Amino acid sequence: MKEMYPKNGRVILHVDMNSFYASVEMAYDPELKGKPLAIAGNVEERRGIIVTCSYEARKFGVKTTMPLWEAKKLCPQLVVMKPNFERYRAASTAMFEILRQYTELVEPVSIDEGYMDITESFSLGSPIEIAESIQNRILKQLDLPCSIGIAPNKFLAKTASDMKKPLGITIMRKRDIPTVLWPLNTNEMHGVGKKTAEKLQTIGIHTIGDLAKGNEIQLKSLLGINGLRIKERANGIDFRLVDPESVSEFKSIGNSTTLPRDISNQQELFQVLEGLAETVSTRLRRKTVMASALAITIRYKDRKTISKSMKLLNPINHQNDISTFAKQLFLKAWNGDPVRLLGITGNDLLEQDHAYKQLDLFSFEKDAKKEPLLKTLSSLREKYGKNIIDSAGSHYNEQAENVGTGTSFNKDFLRSFPEKKKDEH
């Protein structure tokens, strides 16, 4: 079977769950199968927003982020349900447990998709046999459909998994690129958004083939270093490795300060906390992560040190949110004695573009409208690396308090994965 695998290259799978939230609800309640189903916020109100929908609903033109009233107009028989994030996390965890039975090299990139490097898994069968086994097991054990792309790198695997949905398995070889990939418009290329495609059109690049053959000087002038990178992708070049530890790069981010004198005035102590919150917020945003738990440290003049922490309903990285919760914790922990040192630490960190937010009926629409931007940020980071748009991500956070994603592309269900680093300085 080893001859079915390349001698020098890699074999990468991209496993993408089909219409995940709706499929989970159908698995939970089989009576929903075959019906046009949508998951939405504010299901009791006309102004609700569609999070995701079944393929039966899509046949009527229903799609993600569409207003609920519009979806019901297109499909009067639409079944609408509120999101059940605990149910989705449980299904996601079970799905990734199945994937890890084939290889240790599994990299989750969201709640419903992940990469696998099966180069050394040849004893389990050929790549297509492994993909079929994975697809069948997820369907049989969890009653959930998925599509799988098989390719020599991440970009081509992701591209392949998008080609046949639901329940598709697609092989994308480098020799297939000119006939399969190049005829497509650039906005159909994974990670190239509408605005980038419009910019490319200004220099005569309309298809992925045009991009693959594009002038590097023009591309760099138009899009910076990203122009050269997307040209590489268009030619099927992608050296990113499958990294299982990428889900948890930072354990915590915090900051503490020893006060110039022992302070017992509450307002002065609050000012110190506000300064610490600003520093922690900056560090969180620089790492493009959000904290789903917060802790404060208080050291008194007698050097007695106490810590108090709290789990947060929604992940945060904005200064105002950090300051507010830190003050609440402080008031619960402080005994009124003079304070020598104060500290704030953000724990249980989640990647910003995958941060899970338990949305209530009042905040859902606002967050769903942000979803296209957050998906774009996620796609850009996946294509070009996490640091490529740090400044854009930080700028976005400065303008929008407590960012969350309506479709919950999260990694909080992966806390069992190894943690590598701690950044507290």
Where along the chain do its domains lie? 1-172, 176-234, 247-423
Centre a 10 Å sphere on the Cβ of residue 268 and count the other Cβ atoms it contains: 13
What does the pLDDT read at residue 375? 54
Band of the pLDDT at 384, cuts 50, 70, 90? low
Residue 338 reports pLDDT greater than 70? yes
Distance of CA 1 to CAs 121, 124, 125, 126, Å?
10, 9, 6, 6
Of 52-56, 133-137, 313-317, 366-370, the poorest mean pLDDT is in 366-370
Q: Cβ(373)–Cβ(49) under 8 Å?
A: no
DSSP codes joined into one string, 56-83: HHHTTT--TT-BHHHHHHH-TT-EEE--
DSSP codes joined into one string, 242-301: P-GGGGGSEEEEEEEEEEEEEE--HHHHHHHHHHHHHHHHHHHHHTTEEEEEEEEEEEET
**Strand 421-423 relative to strand 250-263, pairing:** parallel
Cα angle: 299, vertex 302, 305; to 5 degrees: 30
**Strand 113-117 relative to strand 421-423, pairing:** unpaired
What does the pLDDT read at residue 168? 97
Which listed CATH number (3.40.190.10, 3.30.70.270, 2.30.30.240, 3.40.50.1980) goes with 1-172?
3.30.70.270
Residue 20 reports pLDDT greater than 90? yes
Residue 295 reports pLDDT greater than 80? yes
What does the pLDDT read at residue 191? 75
Band of the pLDDT at 49, cuts 50, 70, 90? confident
What CATH fold (topology level) applies to the domain 176-234? Answer: DNA polymerase; domain 1 (1.10.150)
Backbone angles phi, psi at 403, to 5 degrees: -65, 140
Averaged pLDDT for residues 234-259: 83
Averaged pLDDT for residues 139-143: 97
Closest to 416 in 3D by CA, of 288, 295, 244, 289 = 244
What does the pLDDT read at residue 402? 30
Cα angle: 232, vertex 234, 238; to 5 degrees: 45
Closest to 78 in 3D by CA, of 46, 115, 118 = 46
pTM: 0.63
Averaged pLDDT for residues 330-339: 94
Rounded CA separation 409/211 (Å): 29
Band of the pLDDT at 245, cuts 50, 70, 90? confident
Rounded CA separation 195/216 (Å): 19
Binding residues for Mg(2+): 16, 112
- Computed over every residue of the chain, the mean pLDDT equals 84
Q: Cβ(21)–Cβ(38) under 8 Å?
A: no
Higher pLDDT, 1 or 55: 55
What does the pLDDT read at residue 46? 54
Residue 367 reports pLDDT greater than 80? no
Residue 382 reports pLDDT greater than 80? no
What does the pLDDT read at residue 379? 59
Residues assigned a catalytic role: 113
What CATH fold (topology level) applies to the domain 247-423? Answer: Dna Ligase; domain 1 (3.30.1490)
Beta strands in 8-60 (DSSP E): 12-17, 37-40, 50-53
* β-bridge partners, 347: 252, 293
What does the pLDDT read at residue 258? 87
pLDDT in tens, 201-216: 999 999 999 999 999 9
- The SS3 of residue 185 is strand
